[in-house]
Amino acid sequence: MAYLDAASTEPLHPAAREALLAALDVGWADPARLYGSARRARLLLDQARAEIAEVLGARPDELSFTTSGTQAVHLGVLGVSQARRRAGRHLVVSAVEHSSVLHAAGVHEGAGGSVQTIGVALSGRVDLPAFAEAVAAEGVAAAALQTANHEVGTLQPVAEAAEACRAAGVPLVVDAAQSAGRLPIPPGWSVLAASAHKWGGPAGVGVLAVRKGTRWRSPYPEDERELRRVPGYENVPAVVAAAAALRARAAESAAENARLSALVDRIRAEVPRRVPDVEVIGDPVDRLPHLVTFSCLYVDGEALLTELDKAGFAVSSGSSCTASTLRPSHVLEAMGVLTHGNVRVSLPRGIPEDDVDRFLTVLPDIVRRVRQRLGVQ
């Protein structure tokens, strides 16, 4: 099986596996207690915090561990909007944010707040002038913008958006789940959210960083854990493994990014050459190094995924027939691109070049067969 779905989850990095096994033995005790094994767990936890903070460009005391990237986003969006109730009740988000951002915005709206969604270009890049204008308006509590889109890979102008937010005195929540561990975090965030399993760490570790001076109040009941930002007992071994993976990724990223990006360029060039009626989606240059999405006309996404699975390729799709909601992806809709016949290919670290070549070899025939079944010549 060729695994081409790293954007859903990156396979566990060998460095993380090794650290996890070691930390299960030495880091199991309660880091909030004062005896020897507990102090050891506390030390491991804080060391991991310092390491992850350094790679992400945060201070250790700004950073808390959550149970997922989704929880980090929920806490980030709701925590700043709650803390700034008196400044305003308006939230500004891009139309292509991860569903965790949009669902948190939905909760804010349900509590009497308002939400403004900023549209994107055909490339998926947010309309920056519209974003800047929206955050400069009266009564804005917070804004949210992703570093990179999870479905199409387009990078967002976070530094510029952060500058507009700073000028307006509005905190910016940055969802860095797809880029953390792969690309440097752009400057200017007030709250940062990320997820360890996307960079090769274990599942169950998210990162929430709240910049010094940013007002934030937990939407949850009070709890003493994680600098009072996240409730519940810390998973110290998993956090240690997450730090090991991030450290390893940061060391490898320059060489591996260039390799994966060249493979993505090959897919972007070859798919439309080999398959008729295909639209390659997302920004060709300002994009994540490992992710490419395309849509095939006259093809249903579910059939395409099933056929690719049979041929030994794991990919994902934003087409409606592959979603539990039976609606196409809100990202593809907002971009105004073809939503059916959609395939997202995201390359994990270390993928053999041969896997990509085989994918490019089998794809044309699979698309042709699916079209034939639908009666398309």
Partner 1 sequence: MIWRKKSPEPPAEAPAPVVPPAALTIDALGRKCPIPIIMLAERVGEVPVGAVISVLADDPAAFTDIPAWCRLKSHQHVESYELPRGGWSIHVRRQY
Active site residues: 321
**Beta carbon nearer to partner 1, 95 or 128:** 95
Q: Single out the residue of 196, 338, 356, 363 in contact with partner 1 (rule: CB under 8 A).
A: 338
Q: Single out the residue of 321, 358, 362, 368 in contact with partner 1 (rule: CB under 8 A).
A: 321
How far is it, in rounded angstroms, from Cα 311 to Cα 321? Answer: 20
Q: Single out the residue of 320, 344, 349, 367 in contact with partner 1 (rule: CB under 8 A).
A: 320
Q: Which helix (H) or strand (E) holds 97?
A: none
In this structure, are residues 188 and 158 in contact, taking their beta carbons and an 8 Å threshold? Answer: yes
Smallest gap from Cβ 106 to partner 1, in A, equals: 4
SS3 189: coil
**Beta carbon nearer to partner 1, 258 or 374:** 374
The one-letter amino acid code at 113 reads G
Q: Single out the residue of 17, 40, 85, 103 in contact with partner 1 (rule: CB under 8 A).
A: 103
Identify the burial level of 163 via C-beta atoms within 10 angstroms of its C-beta, where 0-12 means exposed, 13-18 middle and 19 or more buried: middle
Q: Single out the residue of 249, 340, 344, 349 in contact with partner 1 (rule: CB under 8 A).
A: 340
| Candidate ranges 172-180, 201-209, 233-241, 368-376; the one touching partner 1 (CB under 8 A) | 368-376
**Beta carbon nearer to partner 1, 162 or 303:** 303
CA distance to 24, 58, 66, 297, per residue, from 207 (Å):
20, 11, 6, 39
**Beta carbon nearer to partner 1, 95 or 183:** 95
| Candidate ranges 14-22, 29-37, 184-192, 336-344; the one touching partner 1 (CB under 8 A) | 336-344
Smallest gap from Cβ 340 to partner 1, in A, equals: 4
User: Residues binding partner 1: what is the number (CB under 8 A)?
Assistant: 35
Smallest gap from Cβ 356 to partner 1, in A, equals: 25
SS3 50: helix
Where in 240-299 is the site for partner 1 (CB under 8 A)?
Answer: 277, 279, 297-299
How far is it, in rounded angstroms, from Cα 227 to Cα 181? Answer: 23
Which value, to the nearest 10 degrees, does the dihedral of the CA atoms of residues 186, 187, 191, 192 take? Answer: 30
Residue 310 CB contacts under 8 Å (≥ 6 apart), including other chains: none
Q: Single out the residue of 20, 41, 105, 244 in contact with partner 1 (rule: CB under 8 A).
A: 105
DSSP character string of 98-162: -HHHHHHHHHHHHTT-EEEEE-B-TTS-B-HHHHHHHHTSTTEEEEEEESB-TTT-BBP-HHHHH
**Beta carbon nearer to partner 1, 45 or 332:** 332
Smallest gap from Cβ 108 to partner 1, in A, equals: 9
Check residue 281 and report its DSSP letter. E
State the binding string over 114-153 for partner 1 (x if CB under 8 A, else -). Answer: -x-x------------------------------------
Per 3-state DSSP, what percentage of the chain is helix, strand, and coil (rounded to 5)? Answer: 45, 15, 40
What b/e sequence results for 314-327 when a residue is b if at least 16 CB atoms lie within 10 Å of its CB, and e otherwise? bbbbbbbbbeeeee
State the binding string over 201-240 for partner 1 (x if CB under 8 A, else -). Answer: ----------------------------------------
Compute the Cα dihedral for 57, 60, 61, 67 and give only its sign. positive
Q: Single out the residue of 95, 314, 360, 362 in contact with partner 1 (rule: CB under 8 A).
A: 95
Name the residues that contact partner 1, by CB under 8 A.
95-96, 99, 102-103, 105-106, 109, 115, 117, 277, 279, 297-300, 319-321, 326-328, 330, 332-334, 336-341, 374-376
